[in-house]
Amino acid sequence: MRASVQERWQHAFDSIQGLLEPNAVPSAGLPANSGPRHLAFHPQGAVAFGINETASTITSFRFDRASGRLTPIATASTLPEGYSGRNTGAEIAVHPTGRFVYGSNRGRDSIAVFSVDASSGKLSPLADVPSGHGGGPHNPRSFALSPDGHLLYAANQGSGQLVAFRIGADGKPAPLGVKAQAPGATYVGLFRFPAHREPAPR
């Protein structure tokens, strides 16, 4: 999928030829100047969440598997009430349990945390956690969750910090006090490699 300023475009994938074609419903409309950026699906697949870069919001979408259509449900701000500084939204992720959604704020320099209503797909704000240590700007352009949902690693492009957090049962990340330097970091990803096995004795 690709995004324009006001729409999130939807394509059908031809797995045989490897081609993309416009879906029967070609786009999901969003308010003007939303700036849709990244999209993440709920593990059950019926709901998706898109972070809007310009508006600093996250939109919940109902996903129809048969048609591939995304239908907007509701939109929530990634910023705490009363914040008036400059900001853009960047990364988004859904917790493996499907109970929480995370979005990064560049400007506010934080990870916004939301709970997910299982029946409606709507988001409710839970926390606003600083993405880096010490003075900024940190500019958290990317972050990633561990496959088990216990850890979050934030890549702060502005400060060059890669910061580790532990995610509690309440979904809130708590800094572990562990950081590494990654100057200009724009992406962080976690991958599980197959366990090494010794060759069988002959």
Q: What residues does each domain of the chain span?
A: 34-80+87-181
Q: State the pLDDT at residue 8.
A: 76
Q: State the pLDDT at residue 14.
A: 83
Q: State the pLDDT at residue 202.
A: 66
Q: State the pLDDT at residue 2.
A: 44
Which amino acid is present at 150? H
Segments in the chain below pLDDT 50? 1-5
Q: State the pLDDT at residue 121.
A: 94
CATH assignment of 34-80+87-181, given 3.10.180.10, 2.130.10.10, 3.30.530.20, 2.40.50.140?
Answer: 2.130.10.10
Euclidean distance between CA atoms 173 and 154, whole angstroms:
11
Q: State the pLDDT at residue 6.
A: 58
Q: State the pLDDT at residue 196.
A: 66
Q: State the pLDDT at residue 109.
A: 98
Both structure tokens of 82: 């009363």
- For the stretch 143-148, contacts whose Cβ atoms lie closer than 8 Å and that sit 24 or more positions apart, written own/partner, are 143/91, 143/93, 143/102, 143/104, 143/111, 143/188, 144/93, 144/188, 144/189, 144/190, 145/93, 145/95, 145/96, 145/102, 145/190, 146/190, 147/96, 147/190, 147/192, 148/96
| Residue 42 contacts residue 98 (beta carbons within 8 Å) | yes
